[in-house]
Chain A
Amino acid sequence: TGAPGHAKRTIPAVSQSSRKLHFSVYGKNNSKVSDGMSTQYPVVDHEFDAVVVGAGGAGLRAAFGLSEAGFNTACVTKLFPTRSHTVAAQGGINAALGNMEGDDWRWHFYDTVKGSDWLGDQDAIHYMTEQAPHAVVELENFGMPFSRTEDGKIYQRAFGGQSLKFGKGGQAHRCCCVADRTGHSLLHTLYGRSLRYDTSYFVEYFALDLLMEDGECKGVIALCMEDGSIHRFRSKNTVIATGGYGRTYFSCTSAHTSTGDGNAMVTRAGLPCQDLEFVQFHPTGIYGAGCLITEGCRGEGGILINSEGERFMERYAPNAKDLASRDVVSRSITIEIREGRGCGPEKDHAYLQLHHLPPQQLATRLPGISETAMIFAGVDVTKEPIPVLPTVHYNMGGIPTNYRGQVITHTTEEGDKVVPGLFACGEAACASVHGANRLGANSLLDLVVFGRACAHTIADICTPGEKLSPLKPNAGEESVANLDKLRFADGNMRTSEIRVNMQKTMQNHAAVFRTGKVLKEGCDKMDAVYQTLDDIKTFDRGIVWNTDLVETLELQNLMLNAVQTINSAEQRQESRGAHSREDFKDRMDELDYAKPLAGQVRKPIEEHWRKHTLSTVDPKTGKVTLKYRPVIDNSLDAEDCAAIPPAIRSY
């Protein structure tokens, strides 16, 4: 792709017949061919001060920060940086700059803690909301052209869940944006700037696994798609910024690249993932395709109807009707489908009707909707309704880290313990700032603040040019063996079949509204689908640009995420944030916050649910083990920013 920093090589085209191949590596710094592994896959070793996996908003911010601090940094990504899923973000970044009205980051802190339904770690939320204004100003200095007000200050718009004065002062206007391409601008700016500091990009390299030795992370092993060579990136510091895993579901708003690769790498390394049961749903995505249909449709008069043609929202929310809050609408649609009033041949979605609106209004106020509906659903919105379904939108859970971006494990005796050499940021991580539910426009903020935090933490504990500890000559062998096995897999079930089985199971059993019985069935079904991975069949035996192989590796990664998600959901017997249980409708905290606290006895952690789930999987059997970890309730500085004690969450 012509990106600078890519090692120059002369390599003969890898043909399928000659699998014993050696080749010379010329060019940049410290790449050398390794003989310690299989001779069928040429392996190139690189040494860097830091390796970042993923080049979205968080990955680029980390790579840029590290390069700026003088670290020889590699960024390994399966996509060209400006094509990461961050580019889809059109909303903005929240920051308490106070340009539209008086503002205070402590109010933003309050909104985020409340939005997380008190599952967020308040030290991380303190860090994020306090750093937000600095982060935005910093981005502006890097060249991000935020939209401006008439006086030249950064324009800030309103967004859901943002209030003034701890919820008592009305709507806050905190969301900064670059017209409607904030995500793209973020990527473009960070990528461009990082190149000036000589960051090495390895584009279209698929990261396979972490190189762990004695509980310490020593790097990453990856497949180069362009020529099928294997690369080991050795480093004292590895940052995972691989994004979410929406693709475990049949219907999601995410691109096909959101496959939870980082979460899976961490799981295979024997480390836990946190809070994977918390998956955010947006009420109206196009059925199947999942493309988002904006709430603005319902704002303009669009209505949701069931198979009987009834405007069912009148029953669930008599006042707000179709404009009730997102989770209420999502739950209502799900109940209608569950009770047999779903639309379509499989009765598995609802209809969003717009054809009762004047065509002129549709054309001027909602032009994009008409196009999207025609392109992806084959529907003419002036004549027919659009099939819609609550759609997976974001993963609050991920790799557990502290507020400095360091990946942690947890034991009851020792508490939180840092995993040396491993960091995570962005949607892949769980710091946890979003807790059980994420507020809009907090995600882009999360990316830049924690991307930067990882860079700062690494700069604090390491110096550039430090010598690397030795690595076993055959480190990463199992990853290559797995790759080879999948490349020649000749079972009975195709990748696409297994994938759709997984997606339908998740969609039917771990969607918006969950019940114990349905979840348990789902866990059993998911286990069965997991076992079918052993019987997988791929068809492309090549090694150069083998999309079939990459999609199969991604399927393996998705499965690990799926089993943890559904098992964690089945175990959590309460409703909190995005996880809502029909059979356990209330939040179960250590105290009953709906009643006066005086005289109540605090429940021990085993008896309540205000705690983080830590899940691990045995990759061979697919068996999930769950542990729990307390929520961090104190802010970084009690005097500067008082922690918010839990309360009943109402808006």
Chain B
Amino acid sequence: MQKLITQVSTQLACCCYIRTEAESRSASFKYLRCESGTCIILGHWLLSSQQEQSHQDSAVTRKKDTMLSVLVAKRLVSGVCPKSLRPAVAELVTTRGYKGEAPDDSRGDIIEIPLPPWTEKDGETMDIKRRRLLFQSRKRGMLENCILLSLFAKQYLNTMNEPQLRQYDRLINEPSNDWDIYYWATEAQPVPDVYAGEIMDLLKEFTKNKDQEQRLDAPNLEYLDKGSQ
């Protein structure tokens, strides 16, 4: 709790969000965004307890320590913040209200059922990596990503250097929910630190569609056919 108070009073300006993912073994944070746009990280307190619990199998202990519900979080913040710092509206923000009421998501499945962590493939040549990433860009979970990523791959995949390819590989293969990638690309949700970087920026810019081109469908593959050019 001491740590939490320090966090709150010194880090009001920062606005980063790191998702609660047991599978990426990263810190679990929740953030509260208030009307004025600043947010409060309830971070390290959760991180240390998760690290302690990470070797224990007991789901109960893990649940107690890491599943800080929004209600508790709200109470904590109101408790520790002086009135002047208290957020005007402390609610987990979902910016996609148009999909209908989306009741709170406890993410219990993601916390308690960790999937095997994603690992980079070794021993792959750049050429093979590009071919793999092409397939993985074109075949996604929902149509929006199929179109977006295959157009993005058409534009950028063949000119990416090795570190860029590895960034892209991680971006499209590690997240478990394909919608997350779409929300980050459309800036409906903030990008977690682990995926921020050159490639994510390129993707966000590309998604804006500043040239207002008609993106009716994923491109046909023949742009790769050197023989026809």
Contact = CB atoms under 8 A, between A and B. Distances in A.
Check if A and B associate.
yes
Interface of A: 1-4, 13, 78-80, 82-88, 90, 143-145, 147-148, 155, 157, 177-181, 184-185, 188-189, 191-193, 195, 204, 225-226, 252-257, 287-291, 294, 296, 364-369, 371-372, 374-380, 494-496, 539-540, 542, 544-548, 550-551
A145 B105 contact: yes
B103 A291 contact: no
A-B complex: 6 closest residue pairs judged by Cβ atoms: A288-B216, A496-B220, A192-B113, A179-B105, A145-B108, A88-B142
Point out which of A13, A184, A225, A550 has the most chain B C-beta atoms below 10 A from its C-beta.
A184
B109 A143 contact: yes
B177 A87 contact: yes
Contacts of B221: 495-496, 539-540, 547-548, 551
A145 B108 CA distance: 6
Contacts of B118: 1-2
B123 to A, nearest CB: 8
B132 A371 contact: no
- If over half of B's interface residues share one DSSP class (helix, strand or loop), that class is named, otherwise mixed; here it is loop
Point out which of B98, B128, B131, B221 has the most chain A C-beta atoms below 10 A from its C-beta.
B98
Given A157-B101, A225-B135, A87 B116 contact: no
A452 B44 CA distance: 42
Nearest to B137: A547
B24 to A, nearest CB: 13
A288 B216 CA distance: 5
Contact of B147 (A3, A289, A546): A289
B173 A179 contact: no
A148 B103 CA distance: 8
A378 B143 contact: no
Contacts of B102: 179-180
Point out which of B117, B142, B188 has the most chain A C-beta atoms below 10 A from its C-beta.
B142
Contacts of A377: 214-216
B216 A184 contact: no
Contact of A544 (B99, B100, B131, B144): B131
B62 interface: no
B140 A145 contact: no
B128 A13 contact: yes
A142 to B, nearest CB: 8
26 contacts: A1-B121, A82-B178, A87-B178, A88-B142, A143-B113, A145-B105, A179-B104, A184-B178, A188-B113, A192-B113, A195-B116, A255-B140, A289-B215, A289-B216, A375-B144, A376-B144, A376-B215, A378-B211, A379-B212, A380-B212, A496-B222, A540-B221, A540-B225, A545-B132, A545-B134, A545-B135
B107 interface: yes
Given A296-B100, A365-B98, 5 more contacts: A78-B139, A87-B179, A188-B176, A252-B143, A288-B216
A78 B138 CA distance: 12
A366 B221 CA distance: 34
Contacts of B179: 87, 181, 184
Nearest to B145: A255
B135 to A, nearest CB: 5
Contacts of B138: 256, 547
Contact of A367 (B95, B125, B207, B225): B95
B212 A378 contact: yes
B99 A180 contact: yes
B99 A90 contact: yes
Contacts of A180: 96, 99-100, 102, 105
Contacts, number: 207
Contacts of A2: 116-119
Interface string B150-192: 1000000000000000000000010011110000001010000
A348 B227 CA distance: 34
B143 A256 contact: yes
A291 B131 CA distance: 27
A289 B98 contact: no
B170 to A, nearest CB: 12
B2 interface: no
B148 A375 contact: yes
Nearest to B125: A13
B105 A289 contact: no
Interface in B76-134: 95-110, 112-119, 121, 125, 128, 131-132, 134
Nearest to B211: A378
A94 B216 CA distance: 33
A226 to B, nearest CB: 8
B207 A375 contact: yes
Contacts of B104: 147, 179
Interface string B187-229: 0100000000000000000011101111111101110110110
Contacts of B116: 2-4, 195
A288 B173 contact: no
Contacts of A253: 143
Contacts of A84: 141
A192 B115 CA distance: 6
A375 B105 CA distance: 27
A255 B146 CA distance: 6
Contacts of B100: 157, 180, 296
Nearest to A374: B209
B186 A83 contact: no
A510 B59 CA distance: 52
A494 B222 CA distance: 8
Contacts of A225: 135
Contacts of A254: 143
Contacts of A548: 221, 224
Contacts of B109: 143-145, 178, 185, 188-189, 192
A494 B224 CA distance: 13
A544 B134 CA distance: 12
Given A88-B142, A147-B105, A294 B99 contact: yes
A555 B93 CA distance: 42
Point out which of A147, A155, A195, A255 has the most chain B C-beta atoms below 10 A from its C-beta.
A255
Contacts of B207: 375
B122 to A, nearest CB: 11
B47 to A, nearest CB: 22
Contacts of B227: 539
B103 to A, nearest CB: 4
Nearest to A384: B212
A378 B132 contact: no
Contacts of B212: 374, 378-380
Contacts of B217: 288-289
